[in-house]
Amino acid sequence: MSQVTLEGFPERVRIVDVGPRDGLQAWPVPVSTDVKIEMINGLIAAGVPQLEVTSFVAPRAVPNMADAAEVMAAIDRSRGAELTALVPNARGAARAIEAGVDAMVVFLSASESHNQANVNCARDVSLAAAAEIARMGQEAGVAVYGAIATAFGCPFEGDVPVTDILHVAKAYADNGITKITLGDTTGMATPRLVQERCRALATEVPQADVALHFHNTRGVGLACAYAGLMEGITRYEASVAGIGGCPFAPGATGNACTEDLVYMLHESGVETGIDLDALIEVARRTEAALGERLPGQVMKAGPRLRQYRRDEVRSSSGSRA
């Protein structure tokens, strides 16, 4: 990128594609292991530096993640992309370590009722599990990162006080987990909340290295990323083609779309190390493989400077402004 970076934005950002995990975990029909592997290796070939490739949860609870070890074993590791996996408990951590992940992601919800609904236990119990997984990771030489779900709002409780985010972040940090993702689980993040929460964390938990994970459920996924960029945050999780829905709003969009975010970053002079054209091809192949229209926009419209002949225009309506 030879362009000057947009005022206030960082010069470089690390993109984490969570499509293989967050996008596919609740996909309504089974997704074959081959499709997952092709997607993941395509993302790696396109230069995505970090991927959340699967989840070591109980196969009965999340059938689409039952092939976690099989997926891990087939990933192209020659390019050094960092592979992370979600782990809910010690049992999952043991499987993840065995499968050779680069990092395990522990998670809990900032709101009590969402944690109960999601993993059927209190936040404190989840925190104790995270501490145990942190110890297991340390012993095995595997990094452990922490995700905070419902960090911008809870579908059961509404607004989530920033103090709850700080509480969880501090507890993570006390256990040596300093790479912390704020997860916009059901699309309740807004630019203002992003600004408020990033600033509070910078002040109150300065050892936290914050990543942001937005959903586009209410259309403002990239606007929230914009707010995060203005706060100097340099790690963003998104999902190729925007795969993933929202269990609370059937028909609504889920994860922010990776290639749309990368498009915005590149056009703002922010480096990602990703080949956008190759990424768009992965998005298109993923849409074809899943057989369902996905939310990504750039993959439909193509590159910004794509040029047309006049006879390619669908209609010359005489009044396009």
Subset of residues 9 to 48 that bind a copy of itself, contact rule: CB under 8 A: 21-22, 25-26
| Chosen residue from 101, 213, 236, 286 binding a copy of itself by CB under 8 A | 213
DSSP string, 132-186: HHHHHHHHHT-EEEEEEETTT-BTTTBS--HHHHHHHHHHHHHTT--EEEEE-TT
* CA atoms within 13 Å, Cβ hemisphere of 214: 28
Q: Which stretch binds a copy of itself (CB under 8 A): 96-104, 134-142, 163-171, 305-313?
A: 305-313
By CB under 8 A, residue 125 contacts a copy of itself: no
| Chosen residue from 82, 95, 132, 226 binding a copy of itself by CB under 8 A | 226
| Chosen residue from 110, 246, 274, 283 binding a copy of itself by CB under 8 A | 246
Is 198 a residue of the active site?
no
Number of residues that bind a copy of itself (CB under 8 A): 89
CB atoms within 10 A of CB 202: 14
DSSP string, 67-100: THHHHHHTS--TT--EEEEE--SHHHHHHHHHHT
CB 57 within 8 A of CB 26: no
By CB under 8 A, residue 3 contacts a copy of itself: yes
By CB under 8 A, residue 70 contacts a copy of itself: no
Shortest spacing between CB 116 and a copy of itself, in angstroms? 8
CB 239 within 8 A of CB 22: yes
| Chosen residue from 31, 86, 99, 165 binding a copy of itself by CB under 8 A | 86
| Chosen residue from 33, 178, 190, 234 binding a copy of itself by CB under 8 A | 190
By CB under 8 A, residue 65 contacts a copy of itself: yes
The pair of structure tokens assigned to 63 is 């059938």
CB atoms within 10 A of CB 49: 18
Q: Longest Cα pair distance anywhere in the chain, in angstroms? A: 69
By CB under 8 A, residue 200 contacts a copy of itself: no
Interhelix angle 191-204/221-230, nearest 10 degrees: 40
**Distance between alpha carbon 200 and the CA centroid of its chain, in Å?**
22
Of the pair 227, 279, the CB lying nearest a copy of itself is at 227
Shortest spacing between CB 150 and a copy of itself, in angstroms? 9
| Chosen residue from 50, 55, 84, 111 binding a copy of itself by CB under 8 A | 55
Q: Which of 154, 198, 224, 246 is catalytic?
A: 246
Shortest spacing between CB 47 and a copy of itself, in angstroms? 20
Collect contacts of 191-194 with beta carbons under 8 A, ≥24 apart: 191/220, 191/223, 191/224, 191/226, 191/227, 192/227, 193/152, 193/153, 194/152, 194/224, 194/227, 194/228, 194/231
By CB under 8 A, residue 121 contacts a copy of itself: no
Rounded Cα distance between 148 and 108, Å, is 6
Residue written as token pair 């914009």: 226
| Chosen residue from 220, 276, 279, 290 binding a copy of itself by CB under 8 A | 220
By CB under 8 A, residue 131 contacts a copy of itself: no
| Chosen residue from 102, 157, 275, 281 binding a copy of itself by CB under 8 A | 157
Q: Looking at residues 261 to 300 of the shown chain, list those that interact with a copy of itself (rule: CB under 8 A).
A: 263-264, 267-269, 296-298, 300
Active-site residues, by number, are 246
